[in-house]
Amino acid sequence: MHRRTFLASAAATGAVASLNTSFAMAAIDNPLLAPWTGPHGGVPAFDKVTVDAFKPALEAAMAENLREIDVIAANPAAPTFDNTIAALEGAGRSLDDVQTYYGVWTGTMSTPELRTVEKEMGPKLAAFRDKITQNEALFKRIEAVYASPAKAKLTPEQQRVTWIHYTNFVRAGAKLDAPSKVRVAAINGELSSLYTRFSQNLLADESTFIALSADDMAGLPDSLKAAAAAGAEQRKLAGQFIIVNTRSSVDPFLTYSPQRAAREKVWRAFVNRGDNGDAHDNNAIISQILKLRVERAKLLGYPTHAHWRLENAMAKTPDRAMALMEAVWTPAIAQVATDVAAMQAIIDAEKGGFPLQPWDYRYYAEKVRKAKYDLDMNEVKPYMQLEKLREGMFWSAGQLYGFEFKPAPGLPVYHPDVRVWEVTRAGQPVGLWYFDPFAREGKRSGAWMNAYRGQERFQKPITTIVSNNSNFIKTAPGEPVLISWDDANTLFHEFGHAIHGLNSDVTYPTVAGTAVARDYVEFPSQLNEHWLSTPQVLGRFAVHYKTGAPIPQALVDKIKLASTFNQGFDTTEYLASALIDMKLHLAGDVAIDPDAFEREQLAKLNMPPQIVMRHRTPQFGHVFSSDGYSAGYYSYLWADTLTADAAEAFQEAPGGFYDKAVAKRLHDDIMSKGNSIDPADQFRAFRGRDVKIGALMRDRGFPVPPGA
């Protein structure tokens, strides 16, 4: 999301001023339309937001943006980079600001009133975007700049920006005939409504909880009992215990609860989100989405939605993405079979009398880890304090990129849980980092990064504003928040997205920060996970919440020794979702029953029955709450191939993961470039060659293909 100041040719200035009178009048009464003011180049006025301001603000900002577009399209001067492409880079600033507020509220502060606004505004926003991409006069100007011999005289970044604008318009249907454009716009509107319904259904199911008795909680670590009790108390259910129906609550329970019946109860509630045959069931919605997506793809000239989506990704084609997934799938399920046998042996030795089921997997995997590596991850958790790990993230980013983080109290926030830090390098401002760590009603599940404002040097230097959002369970006042090793990895992962944005050093907002190909954007974030396990971070910041003692080296050694443990489960759970996503979008123009398709395709893949997809189809928000990761969930594996290879560059260096020369190359060739350079060229510049799969296979403990 880019916050941009409108730039038009001098001849158009008067026209813009007169056209924007109505917008200026609207801004007087609507705080969401007011320019950002205050320190750091202006900050979002989160304290001024009201739900009833969203609809008029969005409508006024869209109207203003369309007026700006009309001025660019009607410019009598011959098309040039400055009066067309650069002008587009400057348009839509007010709408970007409003959508920043809107994105924060719909993602973290949802209410019934806001959900009503979402249902109405989703189709309107889709129609607005189509009005721009289907503006023939505007596209002719973009096409003229793209085809002009003068393009060769532009800077490489300007050429890249021109290519992106041209490609985006073509892919949106700018070259279609009039009837096809009308149909594409109608499809986009229908899809927008369906995405909203899907997301709201999922949020409704994730807002539920599983009530448990004291007996159900028996044998759990004290920290998990306390969190379950605190969650109940927050909902005015004092004396009870609840597991909220989100991954951050469910996974720890399934890992540590010895109560098999309670595990099954919690597991079934979680895996059936969006799939309960009730008012929040998503199956019919998914079927409609798939039909509309393939119709749109064919209108745009592609055989399937997957071919359309991957055209401008690193993978380029579904075949290349499938080849990578299939290469990893076979060794992954082979490893699962080995691991399941080890778990079943423990069940049989305990005279359990049952075959391992999906709700048993995490619990018995921990027993195998304990038996094989003498490692109980519950022993690690007392050293995983959220606040200390945040300090560790700051420290490692400082070592690699020279960042310094200083609390910035007093800036407006949208919830009391949110805190803000000022980020500098060598005393110069870099940006702001917002942190929203805790789960609450109305906040979508998971963890993510947002850019409230992108970095740029277009008219003047503008620093970025980024945020990280998590769903940790809040403890009682004064008690530290202890998180799992997996959650700590996720924390570093999402912070990797944030520092990708903070490192951005480009001129134009379209190519800033994390605005890169979907199968490349996860690379910097996945790479940042590696710094959690470095001795420097663990020794300084993984300290016991009671004694302050650093995590024992013997425990660190066990974590390292067991680093490839459970890779069969992790890889299979993820890849099953990625493969079903791709297969759904390669199926073509056929009616699909999502539940039946999922079952049949997993059977063909020989999916281990003890594991379910990480995201079952009816709850697959990555894929069905927007176009987002549709036909693109493979991106995490693609990016992890880059990540493992890049990590070996540090491992091979004299200074390891803190080697200054490698860190500088990482910054100069990748982290600072955004989308100003083709991602394959970025990686090639950093590594000195194209990526190889060998590092990925070594990292997961799988057999390495010859020559990889």
Catalytic residues: 494
**CA 239/CA 262 separation, integer angstroms:** 18
CB-neighbour burial class of residue 629 (10 A; exposed 0-12, middle 13-18, buried 19+): buried
The H or E element that residue 421 is part of is: strand 419-425
Q: Which residue has the tokens 């004396």?
A: 239
* Cα–Cα distance, 187 to 539 (Å, whole number): 54
Half-sphere exposure of 515 (CA within 13 A, CB side): 24
What gap in Å lies between CA 237 and CA 235, rounded to an integer?
6
Q: Tokens representing 602?
A: 């997993």
Report yes or no: 582 and 306 within 8 Å, Cβ to Cβ.
yes
Q: Where are the alpha helices (DSSP H) in 552-620?
A: 553-561, 567-586, 594-604
Nearest to 144 by CA among 191, 205, 83: 83
The SS3 assignment for 116 reads helix
Is residue 454 within 8 A of residue 2, CB to CB? The reply is yes
Q: What is the dihedral of CA 134, 136, 138, 144, to 10 degrees?
A: 120
- Structure tokens of 392? 């560790």
Rounded Cα distance, 682 and 665, in Å:
10
Element (H or E) spanning 407, and its range? strand 403-407
Tokens describing residue 85? 């492409």
Residue 178: burial class (beta carbons within 10 Å; 0-12, 13-18, 19+): exposed
Dig out the tokens for 579 from the structure.
């493969």
Q: How many CB atoms lie within 10 A of CB 437?
A: 20
Per-residue tokens: 36: 């950002």
Burial class (CB within 10 angstroms; exposed 0-12, middle 13-18, buried 19+) of 601:
middle
